[in-house]
Structure 1
Amino acid sequence: MATLGENLKKIRKAKKMTQKNLAQKSGVKQSVISDLETGNAKTTGSILELAAALGVSAEELKKGIIDESKLSNIEIVKPRMAPVLSWVQAGVFTNVEAVDMSQVEEWLPLPDECEECFYLKVQGLSNFPTFQENDYILVDPCVQFDDMRSGDMVVVRKFDDATFKKLVIETDGTKYLQALNPELKPNIIPLDEDCNFVGEVVDCIRYIYKSKRRSKTIKHNI
């Protein structure tokens, strides 16, 4: 059975830490760590500090039984995910908390700078070719409409319908929405009292190829 010193040395090396590194992180003298690893230590009173510095429990350190994922300096980061809402949900959107997430069928990774962002899947060609059908636009509902500038892409709902267009602010303060597709006529939507700002389009994802998910079956030779 491995000794405490052997377990300590194994875990320390797996963490790519020198005795000096461990000493600095744990507050335990390097000489004490050296004595523990060589079996010359007269006391083992520093186990709690050493275990905490290594990211394991004292019991795991003493027994040498630990989760293999704890032997790495690389932290396993699970990506945060954002819901892909339907345009129907966007049409009645008030805030993220009001959305029934059990009705969401698709989720995509969420950038670090977004807290309550969500995705919408582009439909139609009103903003073609900049935005193409089936693109995923990322919408940040936490920004304020007063902070928007002319040229920003925004999502607006009117009654139960939602749309995203370029915001245009004229020099006289007049505001309206404009489709990016010059072929779309008319391509201007007035902003009136019935229009409610949902959020700013801050990013876009386009899949060049995405296969349909199928149930796994037994492979057969062709």
Structure 2
Amino acid sequence: MIVELGERLKARRESLGLTQDMLTARVKEIDSSLSLNRITISQIENGIQSSMKDRLLLAMSKALECSPEWIVYGTNSANAEHADIPSQANVSHGPAVSTMCPVISWVKAGDFSEAVTPYAPDEYEYYPCPVHSGPGTYILRVRGDSMEPRFEENDLIFIDPNLVEPEHNKFVIAMLTDSAEATFKQIQVIDNKKYLKALNPSYPPELRFLSINGNCQIIGTVIAHMKPI
């Protein structure tokens, strides 16, 4: 199971017996220059805001008595003492690289396009996966704008084909059952019904939500996301 940043933050906060308001107060005591409120913490915990700026991350790690690396990547112990990193620092240690993955095809985000599943070792460019990945994990390069603002043109998404029963709000690759076409969407479970959702708020509802009613199958779950420099 892949644990997201927000899930780790919430679990750590609750393990310390802190409410969102109490955590907000702690963080502000550590760094009074931060503009932070309970709503921001709620958005982070629920995955609406998926990252934190350096100053907030450092203050949050001190308030939660854990390392910044654990909050961001899940590496190191949640109880590990964090280093006294200067506030002007703008980098942190990255996660251990687990495997090299091939870019096997590109998927136009929100539309259907060819998804190549088998691949030969010498035919593709490779990138290191920043998280633990299962056998056969591959990379797709995002096309289109339907998954903006979170996923943009040419972003790399790492797909684990072993994870085909994703939870609510996970990002997935789905394939039409009667063709070799695939789409990149977020899975939503509403009243026990599953939908594929495009993130772009400018899209009309009929294009943002696709009901899963036997017309497609989940062929993998996004486990990592990288943006080109």
The CA deviation at 1:82 is 0.6
- In the alignment, what sits opposite 2:115? 91
Contact residue 177 and residue 191 of structure 1 kept, 8 A = yes
Structure 1 residues not aligned, in runs of 5+: 1-76, 94-98, 209-222
- In the alignment, what sits opposite 1:197? 218
Structural mapping, 1:4-15, within 5 Å: none
1:101-127 CA distance string (max 9 Å, x none): 257331111346113211100000010
- In the alignment, what sits opposite 1:154? 172
Distance change >3 Å, CA 200–CA 78, structure 1 → 2: closer
Q: Secondary structure at the match of 1:192?
A: coil
Identity across the alignment (%): 31
Distance change >3 Å, CA 121–CA 78, structure 1 → 2: closer
CA distance in 1, matches of 2:99, 2:150: 27
Q: Secondary structure at the match of 1:86?
A: strand
Contact residue 99 and residue 133 of structure 2 kept, 8 A = no
Distance change >3 Å, CA 102–CA 114, structure 1 → 2: closer
CA distance in 2, matches of 1:105, 1:92: 12
Distance change >3 Å, CA 87–CA 119, structure 1 → 2: same
Structural mapping, 1:45-124, within 5 Å: 80-87=99-106, 91=115, 93=117, 99-101=118-120, 104-111=123-130, 113-116=132-135, 117-124=137-144
The CA deviation at 1:207 is 1.1
Query: TM-score under structure 1 normalisation?
Result: 0.50
1:150-191 CA distance string (max 9 Å, x none): 111111011221111110101x20111010001123211121
Contact residue 121 and residue 135 of structure 1 kept, 8 A = yes
- In the alignment, residue 185 of structure 2 is paired with which amino acid? K
Distance change >3 Å, CA 80–CA 174, structure 1 → 2: closer
Q: Secondary structure at the match of 1:101?
A: coil
CA distance in 1, matches of 2:198, 2:211: 12
The CA deviation at 1:80 is 3.1
1:74-115 CA distance string (max 9 Å, x none): xxx99731111114796353xxxxx13257331111346113
CA distance in 2, matches of 1:111, 1:78: 5
- In the alignment, what sits opposite 1:142? 162
Query: TM-score under structure 2 normalisation?
Result: 0.49
Distance change >3 Å, CA 92–CA 206, structure 1 → 2: closer
1:43-87 CA distance string (max 9 Å, x none): xxxxxxxxxxxxxxxxxxxxxxxxxxxxxxxxxx99731111114
Task: Give the 4+ runs in structure 1 shifted more than 2 A.
Answer: 77-80, 87-93, 102-105
Contact residue 84 and residue 104 of structure 1 kept, 8 A = no
1:195-218 CA distance string (max 9 Å, x none): 12111111101112xxxxxxxxxx
CA distance in 1, matches of 2:224, 2:172: 11
Structure 2 residues not aligned, in runs of 5+: 1-95, 108-112
